Amino acid sequence: MQRITVFLGPSLEREAAEKILPAEYRPPAKRGDLLRAAEEGATIIGLIDGVFHQESAVAHREILAAVKKGIRVVGASSMGALRAAEMDTLGMTGIGEVYRLYKNGELISDDEVALVFDPETGLSLSEPLVNIRFTLKRAETEGTITSQEHADLLAAARSVFYPQRTYPKIVSAAGNALDPSTAQQFLSWVMDHAVDRKRLDAIEALEYIRDLAAKGS
């Protein structure tokens, strides 16, 4: 029988995750947590969320140690995507668009997936840059913003320190690059149409692990 441990935080709410995959869910991983899960008998480890700056991040060597023990380590969405892109040639499995963007070099910095969240509720308090990228692309495709406004908003988002990245803050940082009516239109649009790519990738990863466990391999 498979013993599945998943490190999950703001990328996907626990209730939704449990409906997809029965597993032992733990908070975002910090250094040593994967080693501990391996020592406690995990046969599949899902690394979705992990800490970045507030504590030491998951080390490459602990992922490698788990893989060498025969544990399937699957990464997606956030820290998992970042580590999978670095270690998929050594046995880690990467899932989702964020992983693929890191793998092909379109994303480089961990700043792309970093955010702050409420440790009690797990809810995001800032918007990760990778989600902003997908949202701006959709906004341009749907005609809410122009290609130039897309570029201006992305530049503004990159200029804002990651704990402070919210759409109102980004629009404010864009300044005169957006006229007031466009700014208001975009903020209204984003309330219902923002793309949460990290959430979508987390779902894809849990579905992958579910199917992997069902095959018993």
Phi, psi of 163, rounded to the nearest 5 degrees: -70, -15
Shared-domain flag, residues 82 and 46: yes
| 86-130 tens-digit pLDDT | 999 999 999 999 999 999 999 999 889 988 877 777 778 899 999
The token pair at 106 is: 């379109």
Provide the whole-model pTM: 0.94
Same domain, yes or no, for 38 and 105?
Answer: yes
Same domain, yes or no: 80 and 34: yes
**Residue 178: inside a domain, yes or no?**
yes
Report the mean per-residue pLDDT for the chain. Answer: 94
Report pLDDT digits (tens) over 133-146.
999 999 999 999 99
Statement to judge: residues 103 and 204 lie in one domain: yes
Scanning 69-109, the segments in alpha helix (DSSP H) are 79-87, 97-103
37-65 per-position pLDDT tens digit: 999 999 999 999 998 766 788 999 999 99
pLDDT at 130: 97
Average pLDDT over residues 70-96: 97
139 and 103 within one domain:
no
Check residue 49 and give its pLDDT: 95
- 133, 184: one domain: yes
Tens-place pLDDT, residues 151-176: 999 999 999 999 999 999 999 999 99
**57: domain range?**
4-117+198-215
Q: Report how far residue 68's alpha carbon sits from residue 31's, in angstroms, rounded to the nearest whole number.
A: 18
Q: Report the largest interatomic distance among the alpha carbons of the chain, rounded to a whole angstrom.
A: 59
Q: Do the domain assignments include residue 38?
A: yes
pLDDT of residue 188: 97
Residue 124: inside a domain, yes or no?
A: no
State whether 105 and 165 are in the same domain: no
- Token pair 């908003």 is found at 153
Same domain, 189 and 203: no
State how many domains the chain has. 2
pLDDT average, residue stretch 10-35:
95
Q: Are residues 96 and 202 in the same domain?
A: yes
The 3-state DSSP class for residue 36 equals: helix
Flag whether 110 is in a domain. Answer: yes
| 122 assigned to some structural domain | no
pLDDT (0 to 100) of residue 17: 97
